[in-house]
Chain A
Amino acid sequence: MRLRVKLFAYLTRYRDNLSSGTPCEVDLPEGATLADLLRALQVPDEEVKMAFVNGLAQPEDWQLKDGDEVGIFPPIAGG
């Protein structure tokens, strides 16, 4: 299946030439979870605070499906 994935803030360092919020396409086997996606991207678990799938925050064992849009964030805050 094919996913549209966005990395934000300093997580972009795990992907060459990718700017924050720019989507890239990632292919994964059917049934893969968010945790599988992080492994495929080589983004360390402990650096990820929030992951959104189609605009909704999901846990790492969330099962992804073809066409999902995923946004991955490190710990951030502001106001």
Chain B
Amino acid sequence: MWLIRVNMNDLTSRVEPLPDAYKHLGGRGMTSTIVAKEVPPLCHPLGPNNKLVFAPGIVTGTPAPTSARVSAGAKSPLTGGIKESNGGSSWAADLADMQVRALVVEGQAKKNGKFRGLHLVWDAAAGQPKVEFFDASEHAGKDLFEAFPKIYAKFGDKISISGCGIAGEYGYGNAGIVYNDPAKRPTRYSGRGGLGSVMGSKGLKFIVLSREGSPGVPITDEALFDQGRKKMIDALRTHAVTKPKGALNTYGTAVLINILNEAGGLPTRNFSSGRFEGAAKTAGEAIFEGNKQRLGKELYNHACSPGCIIQCSNTWHNPDGTEAASCVEYESDWALGANCGIDSLDDIATMVKLCNGYGLDTIETGATIGVVMEAGVIPFGDSQGAINLIHEMGKGTPLGRILGGGTAFAGKAYGMTRVPAVKGQGMPAYEPRAVKGIGITYATSTMGADHTAGYTIAPEILGVSGKQDPLTPEGKAALSRGFQAATAFIDTSGHCLFIAFAVLDIASGLEGMVEECNGVLGTQWTTADIGRVGADVLQTERAFNEAAGLGKETDRIPEFMLTEPLPPHNQVFDVSDEALDSVYAEL
């Protein structure tokens, strides 16, 4: 197993055996450990002392279902704290197959307008991976939909690609890291936290993996691994939301639009209401029905990455049946829809595709546009105006650069007070005033406002893993803490977070996840260790953030949410500071 260091100062690389101290780490556990150990907390995120770390999860690259996930980590240009942003792609599985447990990009190439690419191949003679550099300057300033086919043409069809778009070249706080999807499109993202700009700041444009000949992931105990894998498959195939032709496979993640709207927790027009009158027109059901009408047949969703049996990724089609965009996720649909007062799926899909092409995070983009709509730059509901604003970001105009700085940055530029962000990161698609537990996660997560960091929506809205009243703050600090720790484990395991919907309800699935990890690593973990292993990751991240100046004073929800009641339930965010502080004090 290998740890690869790439030094962009002098364009050299070293392939090192994985240090013993890292042998039980993967995914988020690996990236956060390396960032915390090696990156000075006070460094400039776009300077030479930041490091960009990629790590596949523990079971990534194995036959474990729904596990082709990669963590990207660094100090975030958006939050100023530690960042782990998770993506699903063949790129993750290919990195794991090459037995690379961590890829660390260090230093910074001289700023001379040139961009480099890395090409990782398996060196059969040496029995280890090898790094080659290539000149990627021709792709600078280009749409990713234009660049990706050229990369495939250069290196062949069997590769996987990660990279940054124009947004990352400009150094935006809103710039994701892109990965290929199964149809070779640049549509899968480690979207959040500006990691695309960390990549761009190093003069690095693409990382191409040619896995041919690579040995695959070694498994210490095959029988135990298989036992765990079967339990996981059973759980995913039987749970109502993850099974084939279940809710996720049929309607995609945007099936959530209607239920959040019904619960009064769908942030609308820059978090001024919890209900959007156009919700049903933009929901997952409307995507399914619209596709059926335009294609003349039912279309079920596809996998974002190899080995996924949930298959929740949709494709929206134009009236003539041609492809408009893939994938219109719930968060993107909401950010560029309800949050901007826009109810046209065609326009939302156009914006999703633009974000994917420019290398922008759809959540940050929609949250930012919502703020400047309220500032009067364009009116709410003006989808053509919103499309134009995304083009401004792509062109790098002065307005585009303000918007590219993200929700909090744009809010400051326009003197706004209703700015939905925590630690500088724009809020996702759940209203903290209507769903208190997720507000606690937004406030306290080491990542800034991040729903995936502790998805209390499961019991608060969906009735998964029990049912809890979303409007009460009682008991929610503990709920968020438990979800944050369990999530850190899942992000380390290499499974997609969506396996949680099944394994939180089906105990044997949870056992299966731990047995898969034990099978790969030779560890003796039990389900009781999930919280402990996850908490270790959180403590590491928390210590980095405190040293970076993000202490508990930054674990707060924006003031307007404490004072402005949110329709329809007319609730404020009534969680005490003591409760917020207890999330990590009692971890």
Contact = CB atoms under 8 A, between A and B. Distances in A.
A57 interface: yes
B56 interface: no
Interface size range on B against A: 35 or more
A77 B312 CA distance: 10
A6 B488 CA distance: 37
A52 interface: yes
Nearest to A52: B262
Interface residues of A, number: 23
Contacts of B248: 77-78
A58 B584 CA distance: 32
Interface stretch (B47-55, B397-405, B451-459, B552-560): B451-459
Interface string B245-274: 011101111111011001110000000000
Contact of B283 (A20, A52, A55): A20
Given A20-B286, A76-B462, A78-B312, A10 B250 contact: yes
A50 B240 CA distance: 13
A8 interface: yes
B279 A21 contact: yes
A16 to B, nearest CB: 15
Given A21-B283, A49-B463, A55-B264, A79 B240 contact: no
Nearest to B460: A57
Given A20-B283, A55-B568, A77 B247 contact: yes
B569 A55 contact: yes
B280 A57 contact: no
B330 interface: yes
Interface string A36-79: 00000000000001101001110000000000000101111111
Which of A9, A20, A76 has most B Cβ within 10 Å?
Answer: A76
Determine chain B's interface SS by DSSP, over half rule: helix
A79 B464 CA distance: 13
Contacts of A73: 258-259, 262
Interface in B271-296: 279-280, 283-286, 289
A29 B501 CA distance: 37
Contacts of B470: 57
A74 B253 contact: no
A78 B463 contact: no
A8 B289 CA distance: 13
B133 interface: no
A74 to B, nearest CB: 7
B263 A57 contact: yes
A76 B452 CA distance: 17
Nearest to A21: B280
B330 A21 contact: no
Given A20-B283, A52-B263, A55-B263, A78 B455 contact: no
B263 A78 contact: no
Shortest 7 CB-CB contacts between residues of A and residues of B = A78-B253, A21-B280, A20-B285, A75-B240, A78-B256, A71-B262, A77-B241
21 contacts: A8-B258, A9-B250, A19-B285, A19-B289, A55-B262, A55-B569, A57-B463, A57-B469, A73-B258, A73-B259, A74-B247, A75-B239, A75-B241, A75-B246, A76-B256, A77-B458, A77-B462, A78-B248, A78-B252, A78-B255, A79-B253
Given A20-B286, A50-B259, A78-B252, 14 more contacts: A9-B285, A12-B285, A50-B462, A52-B263, A55-B264, A56-B569, A71-B258, A75-B463, A76-B256, A77-B248, A77-B458, A78-B330, A79-B253, A79-B455
Interface of A: 6, 8-10, 12, 19-22, 49-50, 52, 55-57, 71, 73-79
